[in-house]
Amino acid sequence: MKNRSRTIIIAVAVLIALFLFFRMRESYEGDVGPSTGPTPEEEVEEDPEVKKMIEEKGITQEDLDNLISIIG
């Protein structure tokens, strides 16, 4: 009798887990809005003060890429 009740409890737990899994999946498949990041067509304004600081410190694109790879 113990084996039978244990099997029934496990089966119910699996069914509940599957139900919750599919419900969570459906909530993520909703409407997806536009990306909030910049698009390639957008013009980026250059700040002259920032540009001057970059030139003074000698920061290159490679330095920025390395920094992004460490952070990300």
pLDDT of 13 reads 94
23 pLDDT tier (thresholds 50, 70, 90): confident
What does each C-alpha distance from 40 to 34, 37, 43, 44, 64 come to in angstroms? 14, 10, 8, 9, 19
Confidence band (pLDDT; 50, 70, 90) for 24?
A: confident
Mean pLDDT over each residue of the chain, to the nearest integer = 81
**Using CA atoms, how far apart are residues 59 and 57, in angstroms rounded to an integer?**
6
Residue 37's pLDDT is 64
Structure tokens at 48: 């002259």
**Are the beta carbons of 44 and 38 closer than 8 angstroms?**
yes
- Check whether 29 has a pLDDT greater than 60: no
- Per DSSP, 30 falls in state S
